[in-house]
Amino acid sequence: MKKRTVSAVVLLLILIGSIFINIKLFDLVLLVMALIGFNELLNIKYDRKDYLVIKCLGVVSLILLLLNNIFYKIDMGVILSFSLLVVTIPIVFYKDNKIYNINDALYVLGMVYFLGLSFGNIIHLSNTSLAKCIFIFIIAFISDTYAYIGGSLIGRHKFSTISPNKTIEGVIIGTTMGVVIGSVYYYNIVGGLTVAQTVVLCFFLTILSEIGDLLFSSIKRNFKEKDFSNLIPGHGGILDRFDSVIYVSLGLYILLNII
């Protein structure tokens, strides 16, 4: 746990430092994080050299999605269509259907869209409203931190079989603190919503934060892995750090278009 805490703090310092230096640098840091996350999702399912070409095609598609409207402007339909083509066409060139088939292609494509849209949304916010971008990280960090602290101190009842360490007491404390601190920040720094709307927004985002954590725990459990990456033993992977942030970013995008 100490190693994971150290790596999380280091990542947080990198993100904060890049924001203060230059927003474009922050965008590039997020791009690197997304690409590492994409590699983690492929490695956790596949461990074959045959996928080098597929990885490269997925990386190109992910870069096009992430940096669109930041460093260049391409119609989103064109990028999505390009990704669909380059990921599915290789199916016909693999002699053995067991090596690469439509299920594999859809998995790769899903990861490209999933990470591209979520990280792309964070990058977009960093260039249009830095305060909202910071808000995403505040909600995820506060919810996760207090859920862990609350669960460690008074947690007695398991919240889900997916993540044995997560407790009902911890989730309640994490959600409460996320709503309180998140609402104070959003109402005073971001603004634009009533108090009631702000509280509702933060409540749903803290719930999504917990769901994001459970979802990625479910993915690891499905593939019988403890971490997304074993590059540095005991430190977990990039997706272990961004699981909650990803879902909060997607939720914020949807909710702000509804409220």
Contacts 24+ apart (CB under 8 A), 212-218: 212/140, 212/243, 212/244, 212/245, 212/246, 212/247, 212/248, 213/144, 213/163, 213/166, 213/243, 213/244, 214/160, 214/162, 214/163, 214/166, 215/243, 215/247, 216/240, 216/243, 217/162, 217/163, 217/243, 218/162
* Amino acid 220: pLDDT: 80
Among 183, 253, 185, 174, smallest CA distance to 214 is for 174
Q: What is the pLDDT of residues 146-199, one digit of tens each?
A: 888 887 788 677 776 666 677 888 888 999 999 999 999 999 999 989 999 999
* Amino acid 214: pLDDT: 86
Q: Which residues of the chain have pLDDT under 50?
A: 1
* Amino acid 110: pLDDT: 93
* Amino acid 181: pLDDT: 95
Q: Residue with structure tokens 């994490």?
A: 174
Q: Where are the domains of the chain?
A: 1-128, 129-259
Whether the Cβ atoms of residue 196 and residue 250 lie closer than 8 Å to each other: no
Q: Residue with structure tokens 């996320």?
A: 178
H/E element holding 253? helix 238-256
The DSSP secondary structure of 208-224, one letter per residue, reads HHHHHHHHHHHHHHHTT
* Amino acid 4: pLDDT: 54
* Amino acid 246: pLDDT: 92
pTM for the model stands at 0.84
* Amino acid 5: pLDDT: 59
* Amino acid 20: pLDDT: 83
